[in-house]
């Protein structure tokens, strides 16, 4: 059994990336798919962060582009953005980042599934006001989504006024879990060539 499938494996020390350390981040269903040592890798590769918090007793969730760096998820938007406004008071926030890798078809209805990589992170938000820090994060975020594009060569840099108008929130991760499925069709007849139907893996 390798470390990815051993639920008792201790994740390697990663000082910047808090792994699971309370019951909140214990993966219950398919604990064998827990990959705590890959939290940072998945966050660096993800594209959309679904950011959730509670407002006046009601759940809220909104999708954002994001940047990940050393245990912090950064999200940005206009000053009127409701989620960024709520997070200014340091309330708890949950973030889900997931990537669909394959659709997995089975010869049995209940065997249809997907291969994926996902992270759920919990933390608190803090607004960043420092213009130099805003510029650094924005440039890093742009470079992550558009590798190879260079500020000044491919696009003009943001002005200080642009950066003052942009709200940037730093979500410091308290703890995070990662889970993945990377397997074939799981149905009871999928390995039987003579059983009617079809079973396959379709990359997304």
Q: Which two tokens stand for residue 139?
A: 């440039």
**How many chain residues interact with ligand FAD (CB under 6 A)?**
11
The size of the chain, in residues, is: 204
**Residue 62 sits in the site that holds ligand FAD (CB under 6 A):** yes
**Region from 63-71, 91-99, 110-118, 187-195 binding ligand FAD, contact rule CB under 6 A:** 63-71
Alpha carbon distance 50, 37 (integer Å) = 21
Q: Which is nearer to ligand FAD, 62 or 172 (CB)?
A: 62
**Region from 26-34, 36-44, 59-67, 185-193 binding ligand FAD, contact rule CB under 6 A:** 59-67
**Residue 48 sits in the site that holds ligand FAD (CB under 6 A):** yes
In which residue are the tokens 């659709």 written? Answer: 103
**Residue 79 sits in the site that holds ligand FAD (CB under 6 A):** no
What is the sign of the dihedral through the CA atoms of 73, 77, 79 and 84? negative
Q: Which is nearer to ligand FAD, 63 or 197 (CB)?
A: 63
CB of 178 to ligand FAD, least distance (A): 21
Calculate the alpha carbon distances from 174 to 18, 77, 100, 116, 124 in Å: 6, 23, 25, 23, 8
Burial bucket for residue 187 (CB in 10 Å: 0-12, 13-18, 19+): buried
**Residue 64 sits in the site that holds ligand FAD (CB under 6 A):** yes
Residues near ligand FAD (CB under 6 A) are 48, 62-65, 75-77, 81-83
């Amino acid at each position: 059994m390798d470390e990815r499938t051993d639920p008792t494996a201790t994740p390697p020390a990663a000082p910047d990336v808090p792994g699971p350390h309370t019951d909140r981040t214990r993966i219950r269903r398919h604990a064998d798919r827990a990959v705590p040592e890959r939290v940072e890798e998945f966050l660096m590769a993800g594209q959309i962060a679904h950011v959730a918090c509670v407002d006046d007793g009601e759940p809220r969730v909104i999708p954002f582009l994001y940047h990940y760096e050393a245990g912090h998820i950064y999200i940005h938007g206009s000053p009127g953005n409701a989620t960024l406004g709520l997070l200014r008071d340091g309330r708890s926030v949950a973030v889900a980042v997931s990537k669909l890798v394959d659709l997995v078809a089975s010869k049995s209805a209940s065997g249809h599934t997907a291969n994926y990589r996902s992270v759920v992170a919990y933390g608190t938000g803090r607004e960043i006001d420092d213009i130099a820090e805003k510029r650094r994060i924005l440039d890093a975020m742009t470079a992550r989504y558009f590798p190879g594009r260079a500020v000044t060569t491919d696009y003009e840099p943001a002005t200080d006024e642009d950066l003052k108008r942009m709200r940037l929130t730093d979500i410091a991760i308290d703890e995070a879990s990662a889970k993945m499925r990377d397997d074939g069709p799981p149905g009871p007849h999928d390995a039987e060539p003579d059983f009617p139907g079809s079973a396959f893996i379709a990359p997304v």
